[in-house]
Structure 1
Amino acid sequence: MTATTDFDRLTGLVAPPAAPVDAHGDWDAAEAAVGTPLPGDYKRLVGTYGWGEFCDFLYLRTPFGTRAHNGVEWQAVRLTGAPGRDRERFPYPPHPAPGALLVWGATMDADRLCWRTGGAPDDWPVVVWSSEGRYETHAMGAAAFVEGWAGGRVRSPLLGEMEPGLAPWFNAFRPRVHRCLRLSEGPLARPERLRRLRGALAPTTDRGSWCSDSGGTGQDHFATVDTDWLLTYDLSRPHQIRIAFPPEDGARVQRRLLAAVGLMECEVLRITDAAGTPLPAWDTVTDEDG
């Protein structure tokens, strides 16, 4: 399977963002900075998706921008001077030797997604380097690996699998405002409150959910399809809605979300920011993701 086919399958499976972050720049300068040409399928990934995360788990880095936790870099290795022990702990040569690992992504569990360099860049295999110091190699490029993992065709014992039944998605790492609305209990049962909340913000798409065996606690994660708002409805007591949204959407979020709370037959008891600091009123101070 060619890289183009892998990439086309990925874009058909996971919708790219309308405004990718840190997606464009000087590729000649980026390649000079790491000292090697980079794979063509990776360049298409970056130009189409930019800096962000697939399925709230697999992070795609880009060589552009100046933000923390972004960038392509050689994996630094601290050697102990004991060749046998070093080879067991890190079975790859350190840069600049052929076969060194070049990091192009990560996961929320601090695993690293790398290429094993050497030979033509388009032939570099993907190496998953777990946060526990274990490794697995996949004989495919970055686009094929992302598409295969998100689509459930590539099995990775080190990474595990995404929650079954969910359509894969991508979130760009862009500035977002975070707000939490604590709500009064109201007369309606949780399923009806959730139905009215999602109906008021429709169309929405699932991002996972869980519920305790007793049914007393749980969360429903979802996103708006047309506005790129990320929401969690939390069944704690008092129950609450957490939302992250682009700063320019502040007035629209306030209007639609407060209207949704009214339909849930609840009242807003308190509004806080991402750190839990109470706010005297709704505002749009920016907290950045990532």
Structure 2
Amino acid sequence: MRRLRCLFSRSQPGRHNARQCPDSRRNDDVRIHARSRLEGAAREAICGSGRHVPTSGKPHILAGRWSDPQKWSFVHPAVAQLNAVMPPPPLPPIVAPPWVEIEEAMGFRLSQDFRDFINLYGDGEINHEFCVFYPAGQRHFALSLTLLLDHAEELNSYGVFESYGDLPFAGYPAPGGLLQWGSTYNGDMICWLTEGDNPDDWPVVVVFRHIVDPSWRRFDGGMAEFLFSLVTSTFELSTALIGDPPGGARWTRHRDWEHDYGDPPTALYGSFYTEDGRPLFPHGRKLPCGALVPLQYREGSGGDQELYGRTGEVRTLVEPDSESPETTIKLAGGGLAPGMAYRVLASVAVGVDDVPGTVALELLCDGTPIPARSTSVDVEPGQTTRASATAEAEILVAANSSPVSVQLRIVSSPNNADITVEDLYLHVNGTLAAG
């Protein structure tokens, strides 16, 4: 599942232009070894059902049901501020985890903004890039109320923080140590700097995996203030952590203490390959200017989260068009109003014949070009450029409406040039749109 990888680094095409960290091979091996050992535990801890199993001999303190607050004065002001710019999806009210039991097991109180954030947003991620750790769940087939401490212990056991040569902090529970509460798919770690006895006063430290000089940044504010700075792009490296999608920051909820909503729809399309993994067009595929780009479905997951939460049924919302599967993708809006927000990102490495040309991509929705954030590329005759033409847009599809058709068209100037497509991918990520 995608959710598992939130704890560990992952390379993705078309992501951030981060500088390579000059760690030694030994330090990289430490991290890779740590991730391989942690993966099984993380699958249970982060991807588990999250249902509370009463512990024998101890009182069971019921988790609370959290609906949209009537009085925001009872909610941490930074969480209320965050809600105004990144509202949670319109799924049923959150069932909050049993904070009294969790904090008793951990031995200290968690910050108020962290608790209020989990109570309002649940377990999930921002822009399919940045996840906030859930405080409790299944680990090694048993309930753990100390997932944050369990993860800290694993990081310390493999010397992860020590592998960063310029990091002046140790891992928790060292005095003033780093206690991780979030992560990106690139392997960046977001931590509290546990200075002092009041968790509400703990600042945030970001430890980057691929950014150096220095490899860390301190944010003098709490967890929710930090997230607000990310989604409003006031943190200096916000794009490196959550990207910069055209529609702004969106939160995807995967689960809460009692409900599992599964994964939202995602799909990857790319160049054509044979069944044994060889390129179908090893020297590229020649297309005339204005042609629709052929796309081969590679992989996908998730679907209608509202339906899955109620029934456990998986209904795909992103799939090839039945009439023209090579060039057309269908996006459905699901059954929960207002519908789905799809981030569509395409990238194509190209070449031209005969004359120099400028090549660009267009995204079509129901046959009509739509506004997109795009980059064109200048290509010399007979050469395939290492740079790629790109196009990115957000497409909103209303709930219970007819699916929309999405296509990718390639154009050039001059418009009589033939274009050779060497490599391409088109990535679709869906999120329930907030009301």
Range class of TM-score, shorter chain = 0.5 to 0.7
- The structure having more radius of gyration, on CA atoms, is 2
Query: In the alignment, which residue of structure 2 is the partner of 1:167?
Result: 248
Query: In the alignment, which residue of structure 1 is the partner of 2:115?
Result: 43
Q: For 2:96, what is the secondary structure of its paired residue?
A: coil
Q: Counterparts of 2:396 and 2:219 in 1: how far apart (Å)? A: 31
Match of 1:91 among 168, 179, 199: 168
Indicate conservation of the 8 Å contact 1:203/1:224, yes or no. yes
1:183 and 2:261 matched: no
Closer, same or farther in 2 for the Cα pair 1:204/1:245, shift >3 Å? closer
Q: Counterparts of 1:36 and 1:161 in 2: how far apart (Å)? A: 30
Q: For 1:77, what is the secondary structure of its paired residue?
A: helix
Query: In the alignment, which residue of structure 2 is the partner of 1:101?
Result: 178
Q: Counterparts of 2:399 and 2:342 in 1: how far apart (Å)? A: 14
Q: Counterparts of 1:136 and 1:34 in 2: how far apart (Å)? A: 27
Question: Could you tell me which amino acid in structure 1 is paired with residue 206 of structure 2?
Answer: V
Closer, same or farther in 2 for the Cα pair 1:105/1:154, shift >3 Å? same
Q: Counterparts of 2:202 and 2:121 in 1: how far apart (Å)? A: 21
Aligned-residue offset at 1:42: 0.5
TM-score normalised over the length of structure 1 = 0.62
1:72 and 2:148 matched: yes
Indicate conservation of the 8 Å contact 1:14/1:170, yes or no. yes
TM-score normalised over the length of structure 2 = 0.43
Closer, same or farther in 2 for the Cα pair 1:103/1:158, shift >3 Å? farther
Give identity over the alignment, percent.
Answer: 22
Query: In the alignment, which residue of structure 2 is the partner of 1:122?
Result: 200
Closer, same or farther in 2 for the Cα pair 1:245/1:97, shift >3 Å? closer
Q: Counterparts of 1:240 and 1:93 in 2: how far apart (Å)? A: 41
Question: Could you tell me which amino acid in structure 2 is paired with residue 52 of structure 1?
Answer: G
Match of 1:55 among 97, 116, 127: 127
Question: Could you tell me which amino acid in structure 1 is paired with residue 180 of structure 2?
Answer: V
Question: Could you tell me which amino acid in structure 2 is paired with residue 209 of structure 1?
Answer: L
Q: How many residues align?
A: 231
Structure richer in strand, relative to its length:
2
Query: In the alignment, which residue of structure 1 is the partner of 2:80?
Result: 8
Q: Counterparts of 1:220 and 1:214 in 2: how far apart (Å)? A: 14
Match of 1:207 among 343, 346, 365: 343
1:135 and 2:212 matched: no
CA RMSD, 1 decimal: 4.5
Aligned-residue offset at 1:71: 3.9
Indicate conservation of the 8 Å contact 2:344/2:429, yes or no. no
Q: Counterparts of 1:171 and 1:72 in 2: how far apart (Å)? A: 21
State how 1:17-36 maps to structure 2 within 5 Å.
17-19=89-91, 24-36=96-108
Note the residue ranges of structure 1 that are not aligned, 5 or more in a row.
Answer: 247-290
Q: Counterparts of 1:27 and 1:240 in 2: how far apart (Å)? A: 42
Question: Could you tell me which amino acid in structure 1 is paired with residue 229 of structure 2?
Answer: G
Aligned-residue offset at 1:66: 2.3
Aligned-residue offset at 1:16: 1.3
Q: Counterparts of 2:342 and 2:399 in 1: how far apart (Å)? A: 14
Q: For 2:138, what is the secondary structure of its paired residue?
A: coil
Q: Counterparts of 2:217 and 2:246 in 1: how far apart (Å)? A: 26
Indicate conservation of the 8 Å contact 2:156/2:171, yes or no. yes
Query: In the alignment, which residue of structure 2 is the partner of 1:250?
Result: none
Q: Counterparts of 1:67 and 1:19 in 2: how far apart (Å)? A: 26
Aligned-residue offset at 1:88: 3.3
Q: Counterparts of 1:106 and 1:218 in 2: how far apart (Å)? A: 27
Query: In the alignment, which residue of structure 2 is the partner of 1:267?
Result: none
Indicate conservation of the 8 Å contact 1:210/1:218, yes or no. yes
Q: Deviations over 1:8-47 (max 9, x none)?
A: 1110111113347985122122223333211000100000
Indicate conservation of the 8 Å contact 1:23/1:62, yes or no. no
Closer, same or farther in 2 for the Cα pair 1:113/1:243, shift >3 Å? closer
Aligned-residue offset at 1:112: 1.3
Note the residue ranges of structure 2 that are not aligned, 5 or more in a row.
Answer: 1-72, 141-145, 255-260, 264-301, 304-315, 349-358, 363-389, 410-420
Closer, same or farther in 2 for the Cα pair 1:183/1:71, shift >3 Å? same
Indicate conservation of the 8 Å contact 1:20/1:50, yes or no. no
Aligned-residue offset at 1:111: 1.2
Closer, same or farther in 2 for the Cα pair 1:225/1:47, shift >3 Å? farther
Aligned-residue offset at 1:129: 1.4
